[in-house]
Structure 1
Amino acid sequence: MGKFALLVGVSEYKHLEEKQQLPNAARDLEAMRNVLEPAELGGFEVACLNNPDKSTLEIAIYNLFTNRQKEDVVLFYFSGHGMRDKQFNLYFGLSATQQDQKAVVIPPTATDARYLHQQIGNSRSERQVIILDCCFSGAFAKGLIAKGEQAKLDIKPDELGGKGRAILTSSTSTQYSFAHEDSELSIYTHYLVEGIRTGAADLDSDGMISADELYRYTEEKIHQESPAMSPKFYPVQGGYRITVSNAPQGNALVQYRKAVLEMVREDHEDIDFIAGEFDVINRATLDEYQLSWGVEETEAAAIETEVMKPYRLRQEKLKKFEVIVTKATQKKADLRERDVKKLRRFQESLGLRDEDVAQWIPAEIKQVTQAATSKAPKRETEERPKSFTEELGNGVKLDMVLIPKGRFMMGMSDDEIEKLVKKYKWDGFRREAPQHRVDITQAFYMGKYQVTQGQWQAVMGDNPSEFQNGDDYPVEQVSWDDCHEFLEKLNPQTGKSFRLPSEAEWEYACRAGTTTQYYFGDDAEQLGKYAWFADNSGDKNIDSSEIWRTDSGNYGKRILGNNCRTHPVGQKKPNQFELFDMHGNVWEWCEDDFEDNYKTPRTQKSFVGSGDQKVLRGGAWAFDPERCRSAIRDFNSRGVRPDVIGFRVVVTPQ
């Protein structure tokens, strides 16, 4: 078994203007080498190419993937210009690469990303990591078909992590990447390197940094600094668990860094990032940590500065924007449509979204913006369609509905929980506490229905379900890992980034603005109009709550004895967001790791590490009304395939 890495940086472009040169790329290359090569970190045998010509690069790619063994880990990294042809296929820009007058790449002068696809597919290595720090890098995943993906790999945890592929990209298929204002590295590579070098990307503190942990750490940091930039992650099969690097454990500096990270993450509204000052309580807490863990004052200060850096840079960008808006609006008579366009361009150069700068936009600018955009094509950031349909082939469709931004109270109150615990003598209800507010800051699309057997068949080519009674029945007997395989095939086909919902997104979408036990109210007697559950999913109507309360030992036998089962999706009444079967039919996997309470408050982002237990929401055909409520939480191991578990997908608009 070996670990092999090819790192490529292209900083000089003969046919591009001075402002389009990328001096950071050469430094990116060296920084990645410094964390991937040392035995105590990445442990890779590293080859570096700085400004290679096309032939040299393609031979190096060929050699990287050829003659590898199954257990080898192979990593390819590219920092430079990503370019596209007329069909929007991705090319890696090289020093001699040329473009036409419309900035479309001239193909013979660049390396086609499909050549890399080909070498990846031909390699025997079962652990492949691709990291692309370039514009349009998300396009790399489109059309990439996994080698032997019809067969399921035997994925077992070991020192190398999972088997498969992990594709990490700095941007979407349509997006430019951003430079880093306060570093010699690109923003994406800066946080990749930081996560490995400091061990901060070891989210579950197991001493290893997996591909998904590295992505999640980097994505969070970039979102803090430049929220308009959208790094992407495309794992194939078990690729999300491939170990990229070791991480130090038991180190006081690592321990202190993680404490600061958690504090900043939870209390960022109370911190002055420009001045670099914590509030009094957090400052006192950190001082105690520093003393008890033996962290030198200079070391602590350096860690705090580094952790707060993305927040500080974002605040500085917002301040810049505020100053420019103020100057631009001092003379209202001078405000023109072209001024608004200039402001928009300045906003985009800072990597800020519309919602980030909304507080700085006075009414007169908003009016001009509306007038200007009414004459121009709609931008991606403007009003989105309330739904869309994805064609999966052979007439199979995936219907998605828009879930707007908002806030809600997640979980249930202590009083309501204790009533349920007392009545049913089951402590599992306490998983729903403490109740807390969650802000859904970004709109997203969610599947109108649970993923059906027909949709699964269209994407995966098989049907694992126990109840194979029609294409419109929900797919079940799919594990959390199986769902990720489905997404790994779906995303390259569609060019989108479908995913599992976070637990917070799921409950927000289920509630659809309600605060009651169910999305229609508190009366469980009405549940049959909205859900398939144990009372109505079998041959006869039964009282499953009473069975559970008085005869729990025979609950399963009595439910199965009534021939309870799944039913076609969409037959019951939807909620206010037009989502069907959010209560019952099948439990739905969420992306999150399971914890038995909300002591760590949830956000829109998934609560994840690399844990085995994953969250389930919504209840199922075999469960009583109390376990089909909006707030109900359950869990199971990521690899199990019961006939009560399915899923639905979400996608964040770009």
Structure 2
Amino acid sequence: MSVQLLRKLSWILPLACACVCCVAKEPTPSDVNATEAYSTIIPGSAVSFEMVPIAGGEFQIGSPASEPGHQDDESPQVTIRVKPFWMGKHEVTWAEYHLFMELCNIFERFNDAGIRQVTSDNQIDAVTAPSKLYEPSFTYDSGDDPQQPAVSMTQYAAKQYTKWLSLLTGTFYRLPTEAEWEYACRAGTASAFSFGDDPNLLTEYAWYYENAEDDYATSRVGLHEPNSWGLYNMHGNVSEWVLDQYDPEHYAKFAGRTVDAGDFINWPTKLFPLVLRGGSWSTESAAECRSAARRQSGDEEEWKSNDPNTPKSPWWFASDYGQTVGFRIVRPVVPPPRAEWEKYWEADLEQIVKHVDRRIDKEGRGERGLVDPQLPEAIKQQEQAR
């Protein structure tokens, strides 16, 4: 069946799956291994997402010089120990991300009504909601079908999404590390792609320039073959945020060692470049979609070049580059202590914090608000009172 026909028919798939699929109930934090996939409905909505188990193990990050398409920043290869986790079966979709975007309106109404106010005592549970779109037609240039991956968000916005989802559900979610992402993409392989070394097979697994050029936009998630661990679109559709700063020499710092994935994280110390993984719908070369291929985010000003605001948005990109950027989430089987969660969710740099504060406090763009399991009921009560 052609990709085009799948795209036309795929609107029925989520409905069909909801009726006939049996997915395990969400595991509890006491579980010690990620052994079963599970599906969770986002509280207060009818939107669900699926998580796939990724068993722990060891692998070599990067690629050998003999691999076609190899780049210098993929070496030397380093042996990484990875703890078990769950990863999003698909990239985060507009159906999911729109719920997060709606927080801007919700928090604005709460602030006007003087309820659920952020204070110095509860600000740890506050999330910054992305500003309302000044040019929706640009953000949705690739489309806003609920099953298309959400695009154009900054890494900071993606991290705040994981904070919102975590506080809402009571389960810790975050972006993957670069090492976790490649480990999951490879799915136990050491080949150029998760399906082997033949780039001619890529169109079966990835939505990239060769098969996307007629549409030149994102594809609905899940229309291509998954890797052997059940993850879709790891090789294309949108490039995906990870937690790491991009450094072409990062691997060399660990040469000859076996390293825990958590110790391999290159925590950001500057605005750019950051790491993106996975290729996208506009990636022209199959080699750039390889499991080891690394993409770096560009200059912040360049990636926000069409944003008329000052300072530029901490939540959105406003250039064509942003149309190729999305993300997926992970859930570690053993979460870190609660005191460490903020490190995975909040801005890495004071510059981002200042931009967020200015946009919210001085310009009224974006909002802050409290997120907890009681939020859906508070939204319902506030809507009934209007």
The alignment's TM-score, normalised by the length of structure 2, stands at 0.60
**2:101 matches 1:460:** yes
Q: Is the 8 A contact 1:586 1:618 kept in 2?
A: yes
Counterparts of 2:239 and 2:56, CA distance in 1: 24
Counterparts of 1:487 and 1:380, CA distance in 2: 21
Match of 2:296 in 1: 635
Higher relative CO (Cα under 8 Å, sequence separation at least 6) belongs to: 2
Counterparts of 2:233 and 2:194, CA distance in 1: 11
Q: Is the 8 A contact 1:460 1:489 kept in 2?
A: no
How far is the alpha carbon of 1:386 from its aligned partner?
A: 1.1
Q: Is the 8 A contact 1:480 1:638 kept in 2?
A: no
Match of 2:87 in 1: 446
* Code of the aligned partner of 1:599: A
How far is the alpha carbon of 1:638 from its aligned partner?
A: 8.6
Secondary structure of the residue that 2:203 maps to in structure 1?
Answer: helix
**2:59 matches 1:400:** no
Counterparts of 2:260 and 2:298, CA distance in 1: 23
Secondary structure of the residue that 1:414 maps to in structure 2?
Answer: coil
Matches within 5 A, 1:45-56: none
Counterparts of 1:379 and 1:618, CA distance in 2: 29
Matches within 5 A, 1:167-566: 380-392=30-42, 393-416=44-67, 420=69, 429-440=71-82, 442-461=83-102, 464-539=139-214, 563-566=215-218
Alpha-carbon distance change, 473 to 504 in structure 1, aligned in 2, over 3 angstroms: same
Any idea what the Cα deviations from partners look like across 1:155-179, whole Å, max 9, x if unmatched?
A: xxxxxxxxxxxxxxxxxxxxxxxxx
Match of 1:198 in 2: none
Match of 2:21 in 1: none
Counterparts of 1:494 and 1:379, CA distance in 2: 12
Match of 1:600 in 2: 253
Match of 1:644 in 2: 324
**2:229 matches 1:577:** yes
How far is the alpha carbon of 1:420 from its aligned partner?
A: 3.2
How far is the alpha carbon of 1:415 from its aligned partner?
A: 2.6
Counterparts of 2:29 and 2:150, CA distance in 1: 36
* Code of the aligned partner of 1:500: L
Match of 1:653 in 2: 333
Any idea what the Cα deviations from partners look like across 1:15-51, whole Å, max 9, x if unmatched?
A: xxxxxxxxxxxxxxxxxxxxxxxxxxxxxxxxxxxxx
Counterparts of 1:472 and 1:616, CA distance in 2: 21
Rg bigger for which structure?
Answer: 1
Counterparts of 1:510 and 1:596, CA distance in 2: 20
Equivalent pairs, count? 244
Secondary structure of the residue that 1:588 maps to in structure 2?
Answer: strand
- % identical equivalent positions: 32
Match of 2:279 in 1: 619
Q: Is the 8 A contact 2:268 2:274 kept in 1?
A: no
* Code of the aligned partner of 1:404: A
Any idea what the Cα deviations from partners look like across 1:61-101, whole Å, max 9, x if unmatched?
A: xxxxxxxxxxxxxxxxxxxxxxxxxxxxxxxxxxxxxxxxx
Secondary structure of the residue that 1:420 maps to in structure 2?
Answer: coil
Alpha-carbon distance change, 518 to 384 in structure 1, aligned in 2, over 3 angstroms: closer
How far is the alpha carbon of 1:538 from its aligned partner?
A: 2.1
Secondary structure of the residue that 2:243 maps to in structure 1?
Answer: strand
Alpha-carbon distance change, 493 to 380 in structure 1, aligned in 2, over 3 angstroms: same
* Code of the aligned partner of 1:401: V
Q: Is the 8 A contact 2:34 2:85 kept in 1?
A: no
Any idea what the Cα deviations from partners look like across 1:371-421, whole Å, max 9, x if unmatched?
A: xxxxxxx992445441122211421011111100111111111232xx537
Secondary structure of the residue that 1:535 maps to in structure 2?
Answer: helix
Any idea what the Cα deviations from partners look like across 1:242-298, whole Å, max 9, x if unmatched?
A: xxxxxxxxxxxxxxxxxxxxxxxxxxxxxxxxxxxxxxxxxxxxxxxxxxxxxxxxx
Any idea what the Cα deviations from partners look like across 1:479-513, whole Å, max 9, x if unmatched?
A: 11111221222221111221110000000000000
* Code of the aligned partner of 1:406: G
* Code of the aligned partner of 1:625: A
Counterparts of 1:382 and 1:608, CA distance in 2: 27
Alpha-carbon distance change, 523 to 451 in structure 1, aligned in 2, over 3 angstroms: same
* Code of the aligned partner of 1:628: C
* Code of the aligned partner of 2:72: R
Q: Is the 8 A contact 1:453 1:465 kept in 2?
A: no
* Code of the aligned partner of 2:294: R
Any idea what the Cα deviations from partners look like across 1:517-544, whole Å, max 9, x if unmatched?
A: 10001111111110100000121xxxxx
Any idea what the Cα deviations from partners look like across 1:444-467, whole Å, max 9, x if unmatched?
A: 110000000110012222774432
Alpha-carbon distance change, 482 to 637 in structure 1, aligned in 2, over 3 angstroms: farther
How far is the alpha carbon of 1:615 from its aligned partner?
A: 0.6
* Code of the aligned partner of 2:77: Q
How far is the alpha carbon of 1:653 from its aligned partner?
A: 2.3
* Code of the aligned partner of 2:261: Q
Alpha-carbon distance change, 507 to 379 in structure 1, aligned in 2, over 3 angstroms: closer
Q: Is the 8 A contact 1:537 1:621 kept in 2?
A: yes
Q: Could you tell me which runs of 5 or more consecutive residues in structure 2 were left unpaired when the two chains were aligned.
A: 1-27, 103-131, 304-316, 335-386
Alpha-carbon distance change, 432 to 384 in structure 1, aligned in 2, over 3 angstroms: closer
Counterparts of 1:459 and 1:491, CA distance in 2: 12
Q: Is the 8 A contact 1:588 1:618 kept in 2?
A: yes
Counterparts of 2:32 and 2:241, CA distance in 1: 31
Counterparts of 2:142 and 2:47, CA distance in 1: 19
Q: Is the 8 A contact 2:237 2:279 kept in 1?
A: yes
Counterparts of 2:296 and 2:206, CA distance in 1: 20
* Code of the aligned partner of 2:266: F
Secondary structure of the residue that 1:643 maps to in structure 2?
Answer: helix
* Code of the aligned partner of 2:327: F
Counterparts of 1:620 and 1:564, CA distance in 2: 10
Matches within 5 A, 1:119-198: none
Secondary structure of the residue that 1:536 maps to in structure 2?
Answer: helix
Any idea what the Cα deviations from partners look like across 1:558-586, whole Å, max 9, x if unmatched?
A: xxxxx411100000000111000000000
Alpha-carbon distance change, 576 to 520 in structure 1, aligned in 2, over 3 angstroms: same
The alignment's TM-score, normalised by the length of structure 1, stands at 0.36
Q: Is the 8 A contact 1:587 1:644 kept in 2?
A: yes
Q: Is the 8 A contact 1:481 1:638 kept in 2?
A: no
